Structure 1
């Protein structure tokens, strides 16, 4: 990772894009009252001016090029629709495993793995036994240089367990929301009480992050990073009887259409990485000071007290300040 010197237009765009997502996330957290916090100005307007100033000339240039081809009638030429769809793709593809977004009536699903791979590699730097076991599985199955096939990926059971455990503790979309399409009820956690009535159109928020760490769902070691929980008796004790406790791709009829593609993409990256590198260590001293976990976190229970990176989220999860690592390749014999 290289530090940028004076900001370029691309740097300004990237920062504004981040600011825009943070503002949107704050609106979602605030619920229906968010307009009251913006009576004197839109919280997204300053960032959107920078985003539009960068994006619109690119779109205009692309439209001009399309006009000069004999395929111009086959392309959408509405600059507003193109603007929204490009931003949609960028938001969905920035650092999520899978995010479904809505702009106008069209739903786009984009797959990207940078956020989850960042955290997976972080865990490998913190758990050398997991790294060693995973690398051994990869080298035994794929070898040190061969390109992995889909069959290889399917046979790498421990690799899938490492990815699942990463997404369990740090799901790419830490919280989400659904709207009731009709009047319905939720069962009450207290069986002596009446069910909870949910009117049609009501938003229902839920935290995937919290669900994935509940000890009643995952056992007393729910805060621990242990890929074997997806391979041993705990699968049948916790996950098989209640598959909806694991929601990195959501579940049911709205489950992510690109789930398998995301698994293949993440698997391919880690296979190629570990074919080359034998050790991974975290370079905490290189991390920008203002993006390191606060010192008082050391006294907190659970993962917060042991984590050496600062997880943050707007629409999706990311590592504040990136992740600074040192990797060593095995010398050729």
Structure 2
């Protein structure tokens, strides 16, 4: 009775606030086509820049990118309702400051953990401090040279030759249209489950049937991402309190995802208890053998690595194949490289694919798999450009915008040019291309500093192996109408709105 009374009083107190923001949202939506995306957002007392934030909610990646381009030092402060502020930056010096120099001050924080906690729990992408350090230390064993070679020559190659290539060949023979984004997500999902958990979900199958887990995972990530980006968190918090709307759907989706993850954990525990010595030790086995066998915690770890393995490489490859179709000369150069290296073993082949690595890097510059990343200040600070950060403020580095800054990439930043990442090796007689990395603070696609992505090399190797396997035999032809650009959207990771419909054509020998 007391709980019901408290909930009712809370609701009555919040009702006027919700009504106010509802009216403001309606006005923002009515005026959204009148706003100039290349102007700094206006801020008002109490509501901050709520009108502009709401009007641009569905294109916030592009909107914030446009603002950074006209901001002094590529940094500005976005005023949210009720006095909350977020610093948005595309300045490499600021990125280095928050990801390395003052790393202890900038953490995931309570806002991030609160919005994503239901789906990610205490997994590595939602953790700070000792919890994060422990997970990173255990996971790091999966990324040595021996593990990477095994991943490419056994896991990826099997998935490529036994599942992906036959599906593409069938589609080519029958003239079918495939959603390549979905295909690549299935491919990556099978791979991460096999290498990290020793479990094969067989999601990439000829039937391409949707699983309950996959549907629930997509919905949970989307709703959680919208939570994080809402101008007024109070709205989703009230919906969760009363189990209404999107929060009701999220609860159901999370339950499905967590049960799937727990089943993987239970099966691995059973396997470990029945066998005194395993033929191979995967990441999940290491976690369970480390003394941290709590089912909920290990399920958090499983879900985080599914997110990392399933959605990032598939997003990168989706936009890569789109850009190749628009740039046939670059595709010819990649095919040439594939044919020159095809006699080498799989692992050695992908290591030698320098031009392809440059082409993938250039694609991720324009369409990063994770376009934004946010930290929360646990103490007061001053950024290198003079911006003052107070404890509790969020600082977001805008990876998508950074790939579009003329200051970083020159006046031809709009062009797709893999050569940006290459130079001729003059010391060798054949004068082959040599890949030249950009510093990770100008190109933070894989983060930087202590939290730099452990799977960076694994991701490149997997993507290059897919590119070699597909382009050696097929052409990927989008069915999107000529002159129409796919819409870049993001729910933690980037996607093409509506998927990526393509036809597969056999390549002439």
TM-score, normalised via structure 2 length: 0.48
Residue matched to 2:353: 156
Residue matched to 1:95: 311
The gaps in structure 1 that reach 5 residues or longer are: 97-112, 189-194, 286-297, 299-305
> Does 2:299 align with 1:83?
yes
Secondary structure, aligned partner of 2:476: strand
Secondary structure, aligned partner of 1:248: helix
Output the CA distance in 1 between the equivalents of 2:494 and 2:400.
10
> Does 2:325 align with 1:134?
no
> Does 2:384 align with 1:187?
yes
Per-residue deviation, residues 200-251 of structure 1 (Å, max 9, x unmatched): 4532112110111011211112122221222269xxxx986x6522111112
Secondary structure, aligned partner of 2:382: strand
CA contact (8 A) 2:478 2:503 kept: yes
Residue matched to 2:36: none
Residue matched to 1:119: 319
Output the CA distance in 1 between the equivalents of 2:339 and 2:294.
50
CA contact (8 A) 1:126 1:281 kept: no
CA contact (8 A) 2:223 2:250 kept: no
Cα 1:158–1:276 shift into 2, 3 Å: same
1:196 maps to which of 383, 387, 406 = 387
Secondary structure, aligned partner of 1:24: helix
Output the CA distance in 2 between the equivalents of 1:61 and 1:268.
27
Output the CA distance in 2 between the equivalents of 1:178 and 1:62.
30
Residue matched to 1:165: 362
RMSD of aligned alpha carbons: 3.4
1:313 maps to which of 490, 496, 509 = 490
The structure with the larger Rg is: 2
Secondary structure, aligned partner of 1:94: helix
> Does 2:224 align with 1:24?
yes
User: What's the offset of the Cα at 1:44?
Assistant: 3.6
Secondary structure, aligned partner of 2:412: coil
1:213 maps to which of 386, 389, 404 = 404
The gaps in structure 2 that reach 5 residues or longer are: 1-177, 183-207, 277-287, 425-435
Residue matched to 1:260: 457
Residue matched to 1:109: none
Runs of 4+ aligned structure 1 residues displaced above 6 Å come to none
Pairwise mapping of residues 201-280 of structure 1 onto structure 2 (< 5 A)?
A: 201-231=392-422, 244-277=441-474, 279-280=475-476
Output the CA distance in 2 between the equivalents of 1:126 and 1:61.
41
Residue matched to 2:506: 329
1:47 maps to which of 244, 250, 262 = 250
User: What's the offset of the Cα at 1:331?
Assistant: 4.8
1:56 maps to which of 259, 264, 272 = 259
CA contact (8 A) 1:239 1:245 kept: no
Per-residue deviation, residues 56-82 of structure 1 (Å, max 9, x unmatched): 277369638846944699586533224
Output the CA distance in 2 between the equivalents of 1:230 and 1:182.
38
Residue matched to 1:281: 477
Per-residue deviation, residues 179-213 of structure 1 (Å, max 9, x unmatched): 3354321133xxxxxx2222345321121101110
CA contact (8 A) 2:374 2:396 kept: yes
Cα 1:221–1:56 shift into 2, 3 Å: same
User: What's the offset of the Cα at 1:269?
Assistant: 1.2
Q: Which has the higher contact order (CA 8 A, sep 6+)?
A: 2
Output the CA distance in 2 between the equivalents of 1:44 and 1:91.
20
User: What's the offset of the Cα at 1:268?
Assistant: 1.3
TM-score, normalised via structure 1 length: 0.71
Higher helix fraction: Structure 1 or Structure 2?
2
CA contact (8 A) 1:177 1:204 kept: yes
User: What's the offset of the Cα at 1:16?
Assistant: 3.0
Residue matched to 1:38: 237
